[in-house]
Structure 1
C-alpha cells in the first residue's frame, strides 16, 4: 500500500513538473495603437496551460520610478503600486488566464503609453517574460495656412502648420489639380492665383486645409508698391519746394527754437 502511495506521489510530482514547462511568447512586430482608443498587448504561454495560479505582471522596463502597469497575484488584481497614469485603464481577462492567455487590455491610449512593455509570468518553479513594443499614433489639429508676405519678385509666401501629431507626419502642398505641384516644405511661394491645399498625412490619418489665392492679392501688392513710390516722390518734391521758398523763415524758426530751449533750461 505504501508503495502504491509513493508511486502516485512520484507520478503526481512528475506531472506537475511537466505542466510547468512553458514559454512566454509575445508579438514579433510592434503593436500599433491610436491615441484615445483601446489596444491589446498580446502575451501567452506555450503550451496553452492555465496561468490562473501563477503571478502575472506587466511592467515598463527602464522607468526611473514605479514600473508596474498591472499585477495579478493570488487570483486577484493588485494594483496599489501601479503607475498613476495607468489607473483604471488596464485589464486582464481572468477567464482567458485558464487558457494561458495573459494579454493586457489598455484603454484610452495616450501618447505617453508608447514604448516597451514586459509581460512576466511566474509559477512556483519557473518564470519567463515577453516584450511588447507599443507605437502610438496621434492625429493632430487641422493644418492652418497663413500668408507670410511677398518676396522681391512678387511671389506670395504661404506657411502651413499643424500640431499634436505622433510620430512626425508628412506634409505636402497640392494645387487645384490635387497633384504634388510644389516641394514638400512648410513654406511655398506663389506667383499666380490658385486653390492651394495643405495636406498632412500619417498612415491612416489625413487632414487637409484649403486656401484660395486670388489675383487681387497679387494686384493689391503691386498697387501698394506703386502707390507708395508715387507718394514718396510727390512728398519729396513738395518738401524740396517748401524748403527752397521758405529758407529764411525756417532759419528764423530754428534760431527762435534754440533760444527758447536754452532759456527754459
Structure 2
C-alpha cells in the first residue's frame, strides 16, 4: 500500500511538474505518561500549508477508529471515538506551516496503540503511522515473608500490579547494592503487568532490604527491616556399622531458632 501511494505521488508530481510532497513523522514509538499531554508529530515536507487540505487522524488497531478529522478548514469530529471527545486539537496556525501534529490531552492507558496521520489534497495524499506507548505507574509494592529455608534464610516476596510497560525489579540491601533474586513472575491482564519478585536473605550484617520497581519516568520502592538473631540449623548424621550385617543411623538435628525482635515494613 505504501509503495503504491509513493508511485502514485511521484507520477502526480511528474505530470504536474511540481515538487513532490511527503508526510513525515517520528521514526520511533512515542513514550507517553498517563495523565500528561502528548503531541503526535506529523508534518508535510517541504513545508506547505495544509489549511485547505484534509487531515485525518485515526487508530489503526480499532474499529470506528476516527480520532480527529479536519476538512474544509474546520474540525469535523461528529464520528470521533467517544473517549477522545474534548481531548484532541489541531492548530490552524501550525497547519499554515504544514504541521498537522495532533495534541492529545490527559493521556490514558487506553490511548496506547498505532495512529495513522493522513494528509490529502486534490491531486496528492500521503500518510504515516505513529506508535504510542503509555507508561502507567503500578501499585506501591507489597513485601511478604513466605517462610524460612533450612539454613536460616528468610524468604521475601515483593508484589505489585497495574504497570505498563513491564517495569524492571530489583532487591537491594541497605547500602544500595543489588541482590540476586531467585525468581521473577510476570503476568499481564486488563489492568497491566503484575510482577512477583522473590529473594532469600541471610544474616550478613544488613537488616534492611528494599524492593524497587522502575520505568523510564516512574520509580517506587518499599523496604523491610528485620531485627533479631537467628541461629542457623546444624545437621549431622552418625553412621554405625556393626559386623557389616546391619547399620544403625543416628540423626541429630538442631533446628533453626529465630528470635525476631521485630519486622518493620516501611
C-alpha contact (below 8 Å) 2:24/2:43 kept by paired residues: yes
1:66 and 2:60 matched = no
Instruction: Find the counterpart in structure 2 of residue 191 from structure 1.
Output: 202
Alignment of 1:157-168 (within 5 A): 157-168=155-166
* Aligned CA distance change for structure 1 residues 223 and 50 (closer, same or farther; 3 Å): closer
**Unaligned residue ranges in structure 2 (runs of 5+):** 1-12, 184-196, 233-255, 260-266
Instruction: Find the counterpart in structure 2 of residue 96 from structure 1.
Output: 94
Please state how far the C-alpha of 1:21 moved relative to its aligned partner.
Answer: 4.1
* Aligned CA distance change for structure 1 residues 184 and 142 (closer, same or farther; 3 Å): farther
Task: Name the structure with the higher helix share.
Answer: 1
* Aligned CA distance change for structure 1 residues 87 and 217 (closer, same or farther; 3 Å): farther
Instruction: Please state whether the residue corresponding to 2:57 is helix, strand or coil.
Output: strand
* Aligned CA distance change for structure 1 residues 181 and 61 (closer, same or farther; 3 Å): closer
* Aligned CA distance change for structure 1 residues 197 and 223 (closer, same or farther; 3 Å): closer
> In 1, distance between residues paired with 2:36 and 2:231?
46
Q: Deviations over 1:88-130 (max 9, x none)?
A: 1111111111110000001111122112111101111111111
Instruction: Find the counterpart in structure 1 of residue 109 from structure 2.
Output: 111
C-alpha contact (below 8 Å) 1:118/1:129 kept by paired residues: yes
Please state how far the C-alpha of 1:175 moved relative to its aligned partner.
Answer: 0.7
Instruction: Find the counterpart in structure 2 of residue 222 from structure 1.
Output: 257
Instruction: Find the counterpart in structure 1 of residue 126 from structure 2.
Output: 128
Instruction: Please state whether the residue corresponding to 2:35 is helix, strand or coil.
Output: coil
In the alignment, which of 169, 172, 194 is matched to residue 171 of structure 1?
A: 169
Q: Kindly name which structure, 1 or 2, has the bigger radius of gyration based on alpha carbons.
A: 1
Instruction: Find the counterpart in structure 1 of residue 27 from structure 2.
Output: 28
* Aligned CA distance change for structure 1 residues 91 and 19 (closer, same or farther; 3 Å): farther
* Aligned CA distance change for structure 1 residues 198 and 37 (closer, same or farther; 3 Å): same
Q: Deviations over 1:18-68 (max 9, x none)?
A: 6784211111122111111111000011111111111100011132x2011
**Unaligned residue ranges in structure 1 (runs of 5+):** 1-13, 225-265
Instruction: Find the counterpart in structure 2 of residue 261 from structure 1.
Output: none
Please state how far the C-alpha of 1:154 moved relative to its aligned partner.
Answer: 3.0
* Aligned CA distance change for structure 1 residues 197 and 111 (closer, same or farther; 3 Å): same
C-alpha contact (below 8 Å) 1:50/1:99 kept by paired residues: yes
The alignment's C-alpha RMSD in Å is: 2.3
Instruction: Please state whether the residue corresponding to 1:162 is helix, strand or coil.
Output: strand
C-alpha contact (below 8 Å) 1:145/1:160 kept by paired residues: yes
C-alpha contact (below 8 Å) 1:38/1:106 kept by paired residues: yes
* Aligned CA distance change for structure 1 residues 44 and 218 (closer, same or farther; 3 Å): farther
Count residues with an aligned counterpart.
207
Task: Name the structure with the higher strand share.
Answer: 2
**TM score, norm. by length of structure 2:** 0.72
